[in-house]
């Protein structure tokens, strides 16, 4: 029976407002996640940390995905998706509010707890939001819808560091930061200067915490449709599947690993770029803070490309392969090229601009992996979604691996130590190429009985 015109109009209106809410959620994901790239050097200075200790920022934040992803699926089944999103936003609000006492006492451990709580909230939101985007329209255009909501995420990435620097690092603070680096202060004077700097985060995170709490209530009572677990777990293949365990779906497990390597390599390119600029003489309080925004701008362009090209001109499998190959190319160029250039008035080594361009290649990798990995899981779709979210812990682990490689090469000039550490990116992109060409087609661990075309 065909739908009436009013019913079609109502469905379109619901889908539009649902996508608007989801785009806002993805904007919040980006705003909270990508600001970590400036928190790393900021905490390194204000909390007097080593390189490895400073990268605990990304570890504390993203390890929550590993811890909370599967409990998130049970939570969503228990309380529903809309209420689950509200709880996720409330967890994030609590994490943001913990920044206030952490800054007041300048206690790095409390900051890490706050970051972990933010990560828990995001793990719940990711477990809920990605199935929404996949199911809310035709599955063959899921990558396109992920690109649309992803533009909100990457737009937040462009402005996150600029807003943080503008709000937290005032002109007087820039002078203070330079004096601290030059060793002007010592003893009690140094402690006072560091306290003054770190307390700049108190007001912004207090406002963020209040906003997240209120937005959680708004989403709970919005027109976003409640998802039925039967719809989330519905197979689209029409095949009868007799598998009895989530681990019997190779394309899912390999897809979770693909997400692990993708987000880990993406976080390395973003989280290290300010410090890498510092090895070229650009300080945090100067122009170095702009490089994550440059990178995210290219990621934003990549998402726009996905909206235009997928699926009309480019299917999501080929987009994944092209972007993974570009990521490998930019990684090798970062490692092997060197030479002074002046771009946008910034005198740097040319290699840093290949890290910036990596933003474009990273744009469509996640949106390519997710639909290929989540397909045809039947009753395991919800749990499979949680497995993929667990893969986001790559952003916790791989930057730490990078920092250890830098430490292992401490005998080298810092610039060269970073060059060596960027080799960590190469196997990540090689694996992504494998998944794009072979991995997503593997249906059985032992002998393939059938292959997805």
Helices (H), 50-141: 51-54, 56-79, 81-97, 99-105, 108-135
pLDDT reported for residue 89: 96
* pLDDT tier, 158 (very low <50, low <70, confident <90, very high otherwise): confident
pLDDT reported for residue 5: 66
* pLDDT tier, 450 (very low <50, low <70, confident <90, very high otherwise): very low
DSSP for 152-210, written as a single string = HHHHHHHHHHHHHHHHHS-HHHHHHHHHHHTT---HHHHHHHHHHHHGGGHHHHHHHHH
The domains located in the chain, with CATH, are 8-228+246-441 (1.20.1250.20)
Overall average pLDDT of the 126-148 stretch? 72
* pLDDT tier, 316 (very low <50, low <70, confident <90, very high otherwise): confident
pLDDT reported for residue 394: 96
Distance CA 64, CA 70 (A): 11
pLDDT reported for residue 453: 41
pLDDT reported for residue 12: 73
* pLDDT tier, 143 (very low <50, low <70, confident <90, very high otherwise): low
pTM of the model: 0.86
**Torsions phi, psi of 347, nearest 5?**
-90, 110
pLDDT digits (tens, 9 = 90+) for 259-305: 999 999 999 999 999 999 999 999 887 788 889 999 999 988 888 88
Distance CA 109, CA 60 (A): 10
DSSP for 353-407, written as a single string = HHHHHHHHHHTTHHHHHHHHHHTT-GGGHHHHHHHHHHGGGHHHHHHHHHHHHHH
The highest-confidence range among 128-137, 144-153, 180-189, 390-399, by mean pLDDT, is 390-399
CA distances from 379 to 173, 229, 236, 382, 383 (A): 54, 9, 11, 7, 8
Average pLDDT, the chain: 88
Overall average pLDDT of the 66-75 stretch? 88
Distance CA 277, CA 281 (A): 7
Cis peptide before 311 (omega within 30 of 0): yes
The answer to whether the beta carbons of residues 367 and 147 sit under 8 Å apart is: yes
pLDDT digits (tens, 9 = 90+) for 360-403: 999 889 888 988 998 888 878 778 878 888 999 999 999 999 99
DSSP state of 430: H
Distance CA 452, CA 254 (A): 15
pLDDT digits (tens, 9 = 90+) for 28-40: 888 888 888 899 9
């Amino acid at each position: 029976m065909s739908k009436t015109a009013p019913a079609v109009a109502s469905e379109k209106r619901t889908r539009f407002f649902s996508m608007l809410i989801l785009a806002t959620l993805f904007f919040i994901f980006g705003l909270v996640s990508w600001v970590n790239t400036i928190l790393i050097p900021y905490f390194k200075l204000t909390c007097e940390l080593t390189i490895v200790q400073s990268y605990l920022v990304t570890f504390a934040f993203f390890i929550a995905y590993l811890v909370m992803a599967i409990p998130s699926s049970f939570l969503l089944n228990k309380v529903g998706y809309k209420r689950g999103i509200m709880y996720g936003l409330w967890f994030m609000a609590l994490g943001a509010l913990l920044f206030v006492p952490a800054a007041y006492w300048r206690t790095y451990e409390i900051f890490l707890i706050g970051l972990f709580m933010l990560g828990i909230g995001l793990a719940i939101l990711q477990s809920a939001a990605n199935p929404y985007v996949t199911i809310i329209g035709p599955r063959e255009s899921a990558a396109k819808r992920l690109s649309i909501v992803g533009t909100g995420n990457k737009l937040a990435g462009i402005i996150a560091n600029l807003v943080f620097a503008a709000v937290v690092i005032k002109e007087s603070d820039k002078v203070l930061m330079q004096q601290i680096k030059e060793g002007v202060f010592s003893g009690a004077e140094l402690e006072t200067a560091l306290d003054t700097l770190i307390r700049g985060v108190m007001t912004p995170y207090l406002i963020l915490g209040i906003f997240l709490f209120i937005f959680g209530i708004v989403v709970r009572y919005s027109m976003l449709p409640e998802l039925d677990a039967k719809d989330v777990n519905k197979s689209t293949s029409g095949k009868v599947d007799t598998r009895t365990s989530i681990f019997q779906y190779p394309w899912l497990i390999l897809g979770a690993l693909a997400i692990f390597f993708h987000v880990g390599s993406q976080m390395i390119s973003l989280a290290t770029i300010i410090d890498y600029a510092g090895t070229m003489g650009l300080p945090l309080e100067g122009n170095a803070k702009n490089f994550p925004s440059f990178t995210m701008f290219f990621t934003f362009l990549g998402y726009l490309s996905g909206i235009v090209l997928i699926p009309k001109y480019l299917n999501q499998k080929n987009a994944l392969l092209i972007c993974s190959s570009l990521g490998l190319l930019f990684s090798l160029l970062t490692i092997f090229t060197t030479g002074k250039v002046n771009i946008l008035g910034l005198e740097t080594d040319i290699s840093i601009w290949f890290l910036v361009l990596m933003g474009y290649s990273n744009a469509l990798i996640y949106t390519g992996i997710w639909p290929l990995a989540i397909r045809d899981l039947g009753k395991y779709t919800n749990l499979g979604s949680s497995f993929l979210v667990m893969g986001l812990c790559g952003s916790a682990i791989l930057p730490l691996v990078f920092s250890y490689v830098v430490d292992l090469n401490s005998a080298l000039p810092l610039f060269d130590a970073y060059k060596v550490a960027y080799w960590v990116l190469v196997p990540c992109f090689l694996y992504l190429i494998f998944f794009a060409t072979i991995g997503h087609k593997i249906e059985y661990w032992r002998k393939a009985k059938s292959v997805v075309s």
